[in-house]
Amino acid sequence: MRWLQNERLRQRWVWLKRCRYCRGFGIQSPTDYAFVRYVINQHNPYYAYEEFEGMGLTPIILKKGKLLFRLVNYWQPSAVYVHALSTDFTPFIMAAKRGVAVKPLSERTKGERLVLLTNAAEMDNDLMALLLAEGDERMMWVVEDIHKNTSNRRRWKKLVKAQQTVLTYDLYDVGIVFFYQRRVKQHYLINF
């Protein structure tokens, strides 16, 4: 119970630090604003939310799971590739798109529309270099726990600064990366 109180206090502190980044304030691009406003910070209930509430998950896992549900629903990938996460987000992914495959990261194939789901703590330099080299416009990369500790923050900053990443969203608990080729490099802090 004490852990839950500390988690709520941390969430409130992060929200206060980032309150000026609520609901897409300061984002000039209409497409980026729409993504933040209607996918990341969507507060209206979706059809599967009642099912998720009954799963008995912690508030932060439920929040990340609902975000992943909305991201998969928005992106409509043919597969979601997962790299050794401690949390199983499969129910959220499967509810977002009927028939989507959830596979280990090692089974990914080129040329398909996909979502990569990794944890910053388990992302070494070799894996990051490999995924950056393969990144294209059909890939959305979701990185979990980007601000959990100093080494995770360092990895996230390295990913944001990488030449291949074009559009990045820092949601504090989660980072989202896009590899659009025809866009100007942009990094957004979002109050999520």
Residue pLDDT, tens place only, 106-146: 888 777 888 888 888 888 888 888 888 888 889 999 998 88
- Higher per-residue pLDDT: 176 or 8: 176
- Pairing relationship of beta strands 139-144 and 114-119 according to DSSP bridges: parallel
> Chain-wide mean pLDDT for the chain?
83
Strands, E, within 21-148: which ranges? 79-82, 101-104, 114-119, 139-144
Residue 58 CA to its chain's centroid (Å)? 18
Q: What is the pLDDT of residue 110?
A: 78
Q: What pTM value is reported for the model?
A: 0.86
- Give the HSE-up count for residue 103: Cα atoms under 13 Å, Cβ half-sphere: 13
Q: What is the pLDDT of residue 158?
A: 92
Q: What is the pLDDT of residue 75?
A: 93
Q: Is the pLDDT of residue 3 over 60?
A: no
Q: What is the pLDDT of residue 10?
A: 67
Q: What Cα–Cα distance (Å) separates residue 132 from each residue in 33, 79, 116, 164?
A: 25, 18, 11, 6
- Give the HSE-up count for residue 175: Cα atoms under 13 Å, Cβ half-sphere: 25
Total Cβ atoms within 10 A of residue 181: 9
Q: Is the pLDDT of residue 43 over 60?
A: yes
Range 187-191 average pLDDT = 85
The residues that bridge with 81 in the sheet, in sequence order, are 103, 116
Q: What is the pLDDT of residue 161?
A: 93
The values of phi and psi at residue 18, to 5°, are -110, 15
pLDDT digits (tens, 9 = 90+) for 45-86: 888 888 888 888 888 888 888 999 999 999 999 889 888 765
Q: What is the pLDDT of residue 68?
A: 92
Total Cβ atoms within 10 A of residue 64: 22
**Is 79 within 8 Å of 100 (Cβ atoms)?**
yes
pLDDT tier at 7, thresholds 50, 70, 90: low
